[in-house]
Amino acid sequence: MKIFPLIFRPPAHTEDMLILSLFLIAYILAVNFYSFLLVKGLRDDCADGAPDKSSDGRLILTAFLGGAITIYICMFVFKYRLKSLFLMLLMPVLGVLNVWLWVLAFRSGASFFVV
């Protein structure tokens, strides 16, 4: 049984569904790129002193929007806020939720975006 066709199955043979799928892919890439830049920028900002606790809101919002896996990986790569238990537990949970929603979006053909 092949797993890849189950995850990314072409929704329909219309141009509209293809465009919606491409927008969804572009959104996922853009959010993950932004979350990479966010963690890198926050790490550079707090290199001098203690980490700024007010930046957690931006990290959590970006994680909810789809960048949780990238934030979690970047936290280890850049060694940023590894002692924050809240972020270390929340990011994997949100990452699983993000992946589940992406699979749901691709399998439904992104048709839940169309009103």
Work out the burial of residue 94: count CB atoms within 10 Å of its CB; fewer than 13 is exposed, 13-18 middle, 19 or more buried. buried
Tell me, yes or no, whether 17 lies in a domain: no
Q: Flag whether 82 is in a domain.
A: yes
**Is 114 within the bounds of a domain?**
no
Cβ neighbours around 107 below 10 Å, total:
13
Please write down the long-range contacts of 12-15, taking CB distance under 8 Å and 24 or more positions apart. 12/109
pLDDT, tens only, 99-114: 998 888 888 766 665 5
Helix axes 68-77, 15-45, angle to 10 degrees: 30
CA distance 91 to 64: 9
User: What's the number of domains the chain is made of?
Assistant: 1
Do 82 and 75 form a contact (C-beta atoms < 8 A)?
yes
**Within-domain flag for 18:** no
- For the stretch 69-79, pLDDT in tens is 999 999 999 98
pTM of the entire predicted model: 0.78
Q: Report the C-alpha gap between 51 and 21 in whole angstroms.
A: 38
Q: What per-residue confidence (pLDDT) applies to 8?
A: 56
